[in-house]
Structure 1
């Protein structure tokens, strides 16, 4: 079945036909939807008129234990291959363009919109002009944006220790564990631009340690076996029950969990990551739910835009349509939060006038999309 041209362009369906590791896009698609779920829930919790069931909060905590470690593990898996293709300095420039530059642009845009919309009582964020300073030292105070500088800083330090200091992988893993517990010391989170990358370095190092295994059929065939998912699911359930009812501090807020300074929590996170890997490899094996790959491929653009989209949709539903049903708001917010950023990127950024919102250089956009500036994007491609 051939997709209409506007759908093909709007969701960049040709990207699904390229030679990519489908399990990666599946995994990123699952993770980004869980991220959007969390922020839709936060938005409703901070707004008046919503009675949110406890099980939705518990689901958020379960997802929290593995969704962001997944992104760091994936980034670590592909670092070695990137260093083979590019010099360390070139790779750092690319990471700046792909991660830190969009962070600077979109954090500024979101803060500005929140300040403006607060005057019309259309946002639940309490922003002021001082919040612009947080961009440089306290990204944890800027909603979802902390992840981009954290991943950039992690990559920058890891490239230095791997390519320049030539630390062996066992040293990197030990350093990751040390940094993880150091990031939990009292007062460390006062400057999250520093503490965030320390917190996730261990997951990045683990991804790098396993990078050869993820391209070994003998290793990946284990994840593609349905019985592996059957075997690991009870472990996943038991570890999450333990996390929710015994490990999570009683004074921890339902919507603001933080990674815990314990080996137990690391084990719980890795169990969740392994379970999601099984799901992603099985989806690839049976070639189902290809729509997840679309959102996985566009996960960066969804990540930086979805909070603004969600706030706009929530304002319309509450103030115009007078909708306060939690499940309707949650479903609508997730659907809009993952689709509108994709459409915006493909119509107005890719081959459009707003390329500078994500790319420091226009040539970087064409390099990422693997096409020539003179070649128009193909349309009417058969959807997978």
Structure 2
């Protein structure tokens, strides 16, 4: 995916005194789940993961909370960013969200057009021409997030924002058909929750003993909610019935990340810091790995393809991120924000910018 680190818009020096490292962990967890879910879906579409029941359960479990998590995290730093002014805020978002949306939609779409014979979902020139109102692939997230930021910049009254969030969620649940862009209506509520819950969430630090008990309770609640609502909802992870599982899932991730020991989980923080690059490139990396394995006649063992695709979808974009960073190409490619005068360095960005 965060779907997604701390200053959702940019990362200053990694040793910043006010840095919320737990958000890096959360984005790292979130983007790994995004990659896993998309690789699983690709394998199922290609008939390489034949267990439909297991696929449904895994997909429902993931999709109840992992994208709402990214919108929640994206809202956490918005109030702080808006202090620089509406114009500055929107200009920043245009560079870190709108620009990479257009650029990478065209790049990924072009690659899929070239590899049309091997793609699960072919892309046509008309699809690329329609990205202004119909996102392709995973890029719906950037489109939806930009809409959320625009609304946050223009509507400053808390009561009105909360009212809009509730209304948009209700409209989404009532829609008979839900194109990807309609997911904005669903996820806006979680963005608003992050927007107005930021001070409380970032300041709260659970005690170790009580925190682990709360985490176990949240995980138990999540498992129970998933088990109770999966079939009742018709496997619709964005339905009203799935809302309890979503809330428990987000709470569990936040709790877990708050309780993590920083020195032991630097690798996960690194994943979170590079989550934007991973989110942008993981489809090309994961699907490319599946196609390569098929061409090399690797035995069609479902879990081998799933694990290999997920690992490639995370690791290869991270390698690309490091290489592009050394070549000073992250910013030109929309994977890092423009440097600010008072910022010492801008090493990386995250998916929830």
**Normalised TM-score (structure 1):** 0.80
Match for residue 221 of structure 1 among 199, 206, 214:
206
Question: Does residue 314 of the first structure (1) align with residue 313 of the second (2)?
Answer: no
CA distance in 1, matches of 2:168, 2:128: 28
- Asked if 2 retains the 8 angstrom alpha-carbon contact of 1:52 and 1:326, the reply is no
For structure 1, the 5+ residue unaligned runs are 1-13, 378-384
Partner of 2:97: 99
Question: Does residue 276 of the first structure (1) align with residue 253 of the second (2)?
Answer: yes
Partner of 2:339: 366
Partner of 1:128: 124
**Normalised TM-score (structure 2):** 0.86
- Asked if 1 retains the 8 angstrom alpha-carbon contact of 2:68 and 2:246, the reply is yes
Q: CA RMSD in A?
A: 2.6
Question: Does residue 110 of the first structure (1) align with residue 73 of the second (2)?
Answer: no
- Asked if 1 retains the 8 angstrom alpha-carbon contact of 2:218 and 2:249, the reply is no
Partner of 2:46: 47
For structure 2, the 5+ residue unaligned runs are 1-11, 348-353
Report the secondary structure of 1:221's partner residue. coil
**1:1-384 aligned within 5 A:** 17-19=15-17, 20-52=19-51, 54-84=53-83, 86-118=84-116, 121-139=117-135, 142-162=136-156, 167-168=157-158, 170-186=159-175, 189=178, 192-193=180-181, 195-216=182-203, 219-221=204-206, 225-246=211-232, 248-249=233-234, 252=235, 257=236, 259-260=238-239, 262=240, 264-283=241-260, 285=261, 287-349=263-325, 351-353=327-329, 355-358=331-334, 364-367=337-340, 370-371=343-344
The structural deviation recorded for 1:365 is: 4.0
The structural deviation recorded for 1:72 is: 1.0
**In 2 relative to 1, CA 55–189 (structure 1 residues): closer, same or farther, beyond 3 Å?**
closer
**In 2 relative to 1, CA 15–47 (structure 1 residues): closer, same or farther, beyond 3 Å?**
farther
The structural deviation recorded for 1:177 is: 0.8
- Asked if 1 retains the 8 angstrom alpha-carbon contact of 2:206 and 2:259, the reply is no
Report the secondary structure of 1:322's partner residue. coil
Report the secondary structure of 2:332's partner residue. helix
Aligned pairs, how many?
A: 334
CA distance in 2, matches of 1:128, 1:368: 42
CA distance in 2, matches of 1:187, 1:229: 36
The structural deviation recorded for 1:287 is: 4.2
Cα deviation per residue 1:166-223 (whole Å; 9 max; x = unaligned)?
x12x432222011111134446745x54x3322222111111221111232xx33268
